[in-house]
Amino acid sequence: MSGNEAIAPTDERLKKEGFVARMMKRPELGAIAGVILVTIFFLITADPAMFTLSGVINFMTPAAQLGILAIGAALLMIGGEFDLSIGSMVAFAGLFFAAATVTFGLPLILAIPLTFLFAAAVGSLNGFIVIKSGLPSFIVTLAFLFILRGLSLVGLKVATGGSTQLRGVRDATEGDPLAPFFSGDAFGGSFAWLAENGWIDTFKNGTPKVPGLPVEIIWFVIIALLATWVLLRTPAGNWIFAAGGDTNAALNSGVPVRRIKISLFMVTACCAAMVAIITVMDAGSTDSRRGFQKEFEAIIAAVIGGCLLTGGYGSAIGAFFGSIIFGMVVIGLTYTDFDQDWFQVFLGGMLLIAVLFNNAIRKRVTGER
């Protein structure tokens, strides 16, 4: 990008575009501004404990669990489609994963890839129906929201003989060499070392208050970076923007739109499977309410992150910050004197502001008059 200035010719009719004007056109700007505003709000209103290491981990954990879904949802939205079934997909993949480990006793090295394969197959079915029928993905995936939730319930009852909760995942996965990658905390050693040196808070007995970095936060960061790289630096990223920006123009320019969209549905479903694996291993069980309404939260986080509902615009980094805002608000309210139920009001308000803001940004970018 840096070589531009050298080859950019000057045109006397063009005003010089300042740094601020350039930043204004970045899709993630709103979400970053939002993080700053929400941080200021809680710095003023919340107990200072919120911004200690354990407080930050406290809100980053739900942010990461949502964020993994939101990044998938953002990619799909940029590609011009929605998936309302991701919340139910979390429950369905959770059931599949729990059944694979508990009922069939498979080791993680088989259970995890199988869960991803299974999710990808359901995602591709979603995508295939949307592409073949030409119906809005909104309606097709709304159907799957109910189908998958219902199947999860029925499946749980079959697997457990009547209960809606399948337990025993912890026992089944204990000691598995892959378990530390998908559950618990990472860098425990480093945290202990930091505690020994007095750089982080410890309990009286000297163990650190935060035993390590929850693995979901690490996955969240990795997935955000990967998605950003794909979007901004690979042909596939260009195709995602093109497919969402104008399907017909993209097709006529030789973009494999159908393949891209079906792949995006598969990626989104795999993000749901990722969250399912992490949360099921964390809880040691799965139940039929897992992932309930997560589809809305993920889409809201993506929209706060700058994704346009009409497709073709947005960013993974935006969804990353959108999810952090989400986590901060949900958990932050418990550190304040406000009633926790303000959460929904806060959320709806943020969504509204984000949509209005994105609309204005879009007009700036396209120079729409």
Query: Which residues of the shown chain bind other proteins in the complex (CB under 8 A)?
Result: 1, 3-4, 7-11, 14, 17, 25, 229, 233-235, 237-239, 241-242, 245-246, 248-256, 308, 312-313, 362, 365-368
- Looking only at the bridges linking them, the beta strands covering 285-287 and 165-167 are antiparallel
Q: What amino acid is encoded at 215 in this protein?
A: V
Minimum CB separation of residue 309 from other proteins in Å reads 13
Minimum CB separation of residue 22 from other proteins in Å reads 9
Within a 13 Å sphere around the CA of 353, how many CA atoms are in the beta-carbon half? 15
Closer to other proteins by Cβ: residue 27 or 55: 27
Minimum CB separation of residue 133 from other proteins in Å reads 19
Closer to other proteins by Cβ: residue 78 or 108: 78
Backbone angles phi, psi at 310, to 5 degrees: -90, -5
Q: CA separation (Å) from 96 to 29, 151, 152, 295?
A: 38, 11, 9, 19
Name, in order, each residue with C-beta under 8 angstroms of 267's C-beta and a sequence gap of 6 or more: 72, 75, 76, 123
Closer to other proteins by Cβ: residue 200 or 267: 267
d(CA 115, CA 128): 20
- From the list 363, 341, 357, 347, the residue with the least C-alpha distance to 306 is 357
Minimum CB separation of residue 229 from other proteins in Å reads 8
Closer to other proteins by Cβ: residue 87 or 245: 245
Angle at CA of residue 137, ends 85 and 151, nearest 5°: 30
Closer to other proteins by Cβ: residue 133 or 253: 253
Closer to other proteins by Cβ: residue 178 or 365: 365
Closer to other proteins by Cβ: residue 17 or 196: 17
Closer to other proteins by Cβ: residue 129 or 365: 365
Q: What amino acid is encoded at 37 in this protein?
A: L
- From the list 228, 96, 215, 117, the residue with the least C-alpha distance to 166 is 96
Residue holding tokens 């803001």?
Answer: 357
What's the token pair of residue 96? 């599949």
Minimum CB separation of residue 330 from other proteins in Å reads 32
d(CA 228, CA 314): 10
Minimum CB separation of residue 69 from other proteins in Å reads 24
Instruction: Answer whether 18's CB lies under 8 Å from 292's CB.
Output: no
Minimum CB separation of residue 125 from other proteins in Å reads 23
Closer to other proteins by Cβ: residue 7 or 20: 7
Could you give the residue ranges of the DSSP H alpha helices within the chain? 4-7, 19-24, 29-45, 53-78, 86-98, 108-133, 137-160, 169-173, 179-182, 188-196, 215-233, 235-245, 247-252, 257-283, 294-304, 316-332, 342-366
Minimum CB separation of residue 232 from other proteins in Å reads 9
Minimum CB separation of residue 146 from other proteins in Å reads 33
Closer to other proteins by Cβ: residue 125 or 251: 251
- From the list 341, 326, 333, the residue with the least C-alpha distance to 35 is 326
d(CA 210, CA 203): 9
Minimum CB separation of residue 364 from other proteins in Å reads 9
Backbone angles phi, psi at 214, to 5 degrees: -55, 135
